[in-house]
Chain A
Amino acid sequence: MRRYETIVILRPNSGEEEINKVIETTTKIITDDKGSVIELNKWGMKKLAYLIKKETLGYYAYFDFASTPAAVSEIERKFRIDDVVLKYMTIKLAAAITEEGVTEAIAAVSAREASAAAEIEAAETDDKTEVKTDGKTEVKAEVKTEVKAEVKAEVKAEVKDEVKAEGTAVVSKETTTEAKKEA
């Protein structure tokens, strides 16, 4: 068994069914040949760096698998026949892979996916907190600049008193607009 990775670019206007069909036939060829799929990933729509069969977009699918050269040539033969496939590329990652190697690789992939998912979650929570803090700082900055502008507008005492009294940004905004109108 050898370890390969294959990337296929499918037509962007092909439906979910056609995409799944291509993936299914490919995995079937691999498993029929007693190989095993280590990773199967639908990368989805991507912009192509150059036109392929007059298409600017392509649907990318990625396979990482352990198989024999015969299976690879069969997969590629099918790709060449299939009209949905724009382009494909297979790269040999390792000349030999054992059963244990395959299970290890699968475990590594699932661990990576799990950590990626956790990271996304963490990032989402981070984003929320960041937004909150950003909002606060922005509000402060706004208040400062507005207060300065008001100083120019010569309504110092009133506005300052108001800001001190109200404290919140929204109210101070309103007061500033009012103050400007007055000025």
Chain B
Amino acid sequence: MAPRPQKKLFSRRKSCRFCGDKELTINYKDVKTLRNFVSERGKIIPRRIVGTCATHQRQLCEAIKQARQIAFLPYSGSSQG
């Protein structure tokens, strides 16, 4: 009997970066960190992809929206237009 191919080849368990690193805080002024959690088009990347926990994704979402309000992050598009 041939060995069965491993099922979960690509699913690496993602973990919440904010739970893992206590130094890392969520703040709307910290654009560098927030940039990691928005797509190139400026959309918030869903939790199922970045792997943040529910609590932190909620905080992150709010922070990104505040950063957008004060023009630190775009509402859409990479920089302008």
Contact = CB atoms under 8 A, between A and B. Distances in A.
Interface of A: 7, 9, 47-52, 56, 58, 87, 89, 91
B80 A9 contact: no
Nearest to A91: B66
A9 B66 contact: no
A53 to B, nearest CB: 11
Interface stretch (B5-13, B45-53, B70-78): B70-78
A49 B72 contact: yes
B80 A51 contact: yes
A7 B70 contact: yes
A39 to B, nearest CB: 12
What are the 4 closest A-B residue pairs judged by CB atoms, nearest first?
A: A49-B74, A48-B71, A89-B70, A49-B71
Interface residues on B, range: 10 to 19
B28 to A, nearest CB: 8
B79 interface: yes
B70 A50 contact: no
Contacts of A56: 80
B47 to A, nearest CB: 23
The CB with the most chain A CB atoms within 10 A, among B70, B73, B74, B80, is that of B70
Contact of B68 (A9, A47, A49): A49
A96 B55 CA distance: 24
Nearest to B78: A49
Contacts of A47: 79
Contacts of A9: 70-71
Contacts of A58: 71
B69 interface: yes
B68 A89 contact: no
A88 to B, nearest CB: 8
Contacts of B66: 89, 91
A91 B67 CA distance: 12
A50 B69 contact: no
A89 B63 CA distance: 13
A87 B80 contact: no
A164 B51 CA distance: 59
Contacts of A91: 28, 66
A82 B43 CA distance: 32
B60 to A, nearest CB: 16
11 contacts: A9-B71, A49-B71, A49-B72, A49-B75, A49-B80, A50-B77, A50-B80, A51-B80, A56-B80, A87-B70, A89-B66
